[in-house]
Every structure is written in structure tokens, then in C-alpha cells.
Amino acid sequence: MIALLLTARSALAHTGVVLPWDNSEFDYAQAPPDAWKVLDLHVSVVMGIALFCWLYYKAMGDWRVRYGWSAVTGEPWRQRAFYAGQLVLFCSLNGPLHHLSDYYLFSAHMVQHLLLNLVWAPLTVLGLPPWLVEAALGVPWLRRVSDFFGRLPVKFVVYNGVLYFWHVPYMYDLALRVHNWHIVEHLGFMTTSVIAWFGLLCSAPSLPRSHRFSQMLYLFCMTLPMKLLGAIITLADQPIYTGYLRAPRIWEISPMLDQEYGGLLMWLPGGIVLWSSMIYVFSQWIKEEKAERAMEVAAHMASFQRPGGQ
């Protein structure tokens, strides 16, 4: 058995697969400039995504019927959104982007974080149909968690607190040096991002829904900490995160230019996603107001059609 495991490990090493129990990752800080092109897979990431997709597939099919959660699956676009989100997660945590962000470029790391926070999380939440959320909220402790984190001020503090905590230079460099801390960092970003988007994009009937104006105000406020952090990083006159100073320079990008690119990515594209979400919320607000007004007019007209109507 030991010989078989060693043989499998040797074979997988040549395919670029990183075993979940193998912590001796290649030192890319001392690698040639093209080492980031390795198309490897992290088995722990692949297994986690596969398990997540399998649970979703079972919930949308067999379990939905068995436990009577819903007579129909729901809108097909939700499933496409969910699986698209998991594809984003797969590409973010494997292969070239993983290597570039971990061992070469701060700006690539910002791309990775923006994909997790502003693409993977909303796509995953959009993929959850209301009936599935209602089934999950039937579990008492999940309901309590949802009630606590469902308040907009709590979402704001939790999301931005984790964001700023991991951008403290010591914590950021710690995540670069120690892979397990890097995993904790990513899990923190993913969890708080789902919390941040959950109440906005999920339409389960029993979930308390904030007024559309409050949602727009929340989204606007969410842009401010990210813009401030991006501005601090962009305008700094010296490297803030020292882990990348030892990395090989690729594409002739200096550490300071790399840091400016990373700050600008956080400053501008991150805000675009949130501003686009504000526009969407505003359009939904107008749509709901028109529908409500139409119902009032219809009810008023119906009152005239009834015998004795005035």
C-alpha cells in the first residue's frame, strides 16, 4: 500500500496535481519567470468543488422530490449561474492565476480576490432557488445564523472587517508564507462574500427583505471601504507587502507598479460591480412600484364594475 501511494504521488507530480496532504509546494519565489504557466490542480480544491456541485445536483433533483421541497426545479438560469460560479472558483484557485497571485504579482492576487468576492459569491447565491433556501432555513441553527447575518449593518461590518484584517501587511504576508493561513484567508473571503450578497440576491419568502432604498444605500456604502483601501495601496510611496519583493519579475512589472495595478483593480473594477448592482436594484424598485400601482388601478377599476360600485 505504501509503495502504491508513493508511486501514485510520483505519477501525479508529473501531471502537476498537488495532493491535499502535500505541503511541500514548489518554491515559485525562486523559480524561473515562466514557472507560473504550470497547469496544475489542487486536489483539495477540486474535491471541494466537486462535492459542492454534487450536493447542489442532488438537492435540485432527488432530494427535492424525496423531501417535497418543490414540485418543480425552478428557473434553469439559476443552475447555469451556480455552475458558472463554481467554474470561476475552479479557475481562480488552480493553475496560472493561482501561481501568479501566490508567488509573483500582487495585482494577480487582487484579481483572484475580486473573482471570489464579486463574481463567485453572487453567482452562487443567484443559483439558489427560493424553495431550496426555505428548506435550509427549516434547520433551526441555520435560521438563527440567517437572522443574525441578514441585517445590513452586520453584513457591512463582517465583510469589510475580514477584508481589512487580511490586508494588514503582517497578515497578508503571513498568508503568503504559510499556505494553511492562505486557505483560511480565502475561506474567510468566500464566507463573508456570500453573507454580503445573500439578502440582496435571494428571494426566499420567509427572508426579511430590506426596502430597495436601504439596499441601494448598503451597496453604495460597500463601495467606500474598498475604494479607500485601493486608494491607500495605489498611492503608497513604498511597497506595503514585502512577500512579492523576492519574486521573479515577469512582464517587466516592478514591485511598485505591481502594487499600483493591484490598488487600481480594487479601486475601480470592484466599484463597477457594486454600482452595477445598485442600478439593478433601482430598476427592480421601479418595476415593483409600477406593478404595485397597476394592481391598485386594477382594484380600483374592479370596484366600479361591482354592483353598487361608485
Neighbours of 29 (CB within 10 A): 16
pLDDT confidence tier of residue 308, bands split at 50, 70 and 90: low
Is 70 exceeded by the pLDDT of residue 219? yes
Q: What is the mean pLDDT of residues 247-253?
A: 85
Residue 145 predicted with pLDDT over 90? yes
Give the residue-averaged pLDDT of 117-138. Answer: 94
Q: Are 225 and 164 in contact (CB under 8 A)?
A: yes
Rounded CA separation 309/307 (Å): 5
pLDDT at 3: 33
Confidence of residue 212 (pLDDT cuts 50, 70, 90): confident
What is the pLDDT at residue 307? 60
- The pLDDT of residue 193 is 96
User: Mean pLDDT, the chain, as a whole number?
Assistant: 84
Per-residue confidence (pLDDT) for residue 60, from 0 to 100: 95
The average pLDDT across 199-212 equals 82
Number of other CB atoms surrounding residue 205 within 10 Å = 10
pLDDT tens digits for range 163-197:
999 999 999 988 888 888 999 999 999 999 999 99
Radius of gyration for the alpha carbons in the chain, expressed in angstroms and rounded: 24
pLDDT at position 269 = 78
Band (pLDDT 50/70/90 cuts) for residue 12 is very low
Rounded to the nearest 10 degrees, the angle between the axes of helix 106-115 and helix 269-305 is 20
Question: pLDDT tens digits, residue range 72-109?
Answer: 888 899 999 999 999 999 999 998 998 888 888 999 99
Cell numbers linked to 205: 419568502
Pick from 19-33, 137-151, 164-178: least confident:
19-33
Angle at 117 between CA 115 and CA 123, to 5 degrees: 80
| Structure confidence at residue 87 (pLDDT) | 97
Rounded Cα distance, 196 and 217, in Å: 14
- Amino acid 222: pLDDT: 93
